Amino acid sequence: MAPSILIAGATGNTGRSTTETLSALLQSLPPSSPAFIAPHNKPIQFADESTFHLSLRDAGVKYVVRISTTAAHVRPDSIAYYPRAHWAIETLLGTGEFGDLHWTSLQPNVFQIFFFSAALFIKEYRETGKLGTLRLMGSKDTPVGVVDSDEVGVVAAHLLAQEDTAKHNKGRYVLNGPEGITGEGIVRLVEEIIGVPVPEHNVSYQDVSGLDGLLEAEYMGPGISRNVVLSMKRAVEKAWGGGFPTVPTSKEVLDIAAPRRTPREMLESLLEN
């Protein structure tokens, strides 16, 4: 019987590269009954994802690879709600009741599409010739190991294609890009790309105002706690002052498919879209 792979919630960040990489790998490495989950991070995440894992276990699925969030935030006292949900899912999967379901949780650093809002700034400058406000989520001086979401998908695909999943069972694997970058470093990158200096008064560090529209449009609604949803904006606060230092990339990831795309390469890729 031919093996089957279930890919759920693959909406673009990691799912496309997971699917493309698997298509190549499975020509020579057929796995049996794995699943890949890229969960949403809305307030009902735990209820939805835990129900899904229960269904996978009861259906006899042997191995699950799921996408979590930044390793330092996955803790029971995270100030934002969604890392607590990831912690709860990982804790649930680690219980004896789910002992027959092998699993690996990938804990990537922030994705480039969320961190490099500089791409929009550059595009606007190219269209208008005017310097607007460069709004950066990161702080001026604290480096962040931004990772390309496609490279996270590649790691997921390689894990799904493993013949021996036992060695990765209960693995919590951290993924960072090859270079950390500060907010000031992003400003320097922008200046190199557009060829003109960006005055300090045109830069807004630690700026999460870009989340407002997304949260209002995608997360708010009847019965949804605004207090819970808005805690997402506080997820990066601990990182601004170095309170949550970057956890090193896991050795298993380095051995499987180490992320290689630099901040400049990620930013230039966003400018092509």
Residue 63, number of CB atoms within 10 A of its CB: 23
Using CA atoms, how far apart are residues 87 and 215, in angstroms rounded to an integer? Answer: 22
In the DSSP assignment, the letter for residue 13 is S
Per the CB < 8 A criterion, the answer to whether 157 and 26 are in contact is: no
What pLDDT, in 10s, does the model give residues 214-251?
A: 888 888 888 889 999 999 988 888 778 776 678 899 99
Ordered DSSP codes for 8-23? ES--SSSHHHHHHHHH
User: Under a CB-based contact definition with an 8 Å cutoff, are residues 224 and 43 in contact?
Assistant: yes
Helix axes 183-194, 263-272, angle to 10 degrees: 50
What predicted TM-score, i.e. pTM, was given to this entire model? 0.88
In a domain, 1, yes or no: no
User: Per the structure, how many domains does the chain have?
Assistant: 1
Mean pLDDT for the chain overall: 89
134 pLDDT exceeds 70?
Answer: yes
Q: How far apart are CA 242 and CA 240, in angstroms?
A: 6
Domain CATH for 145 = 3.40.50.720
80: containing domain = 6-272
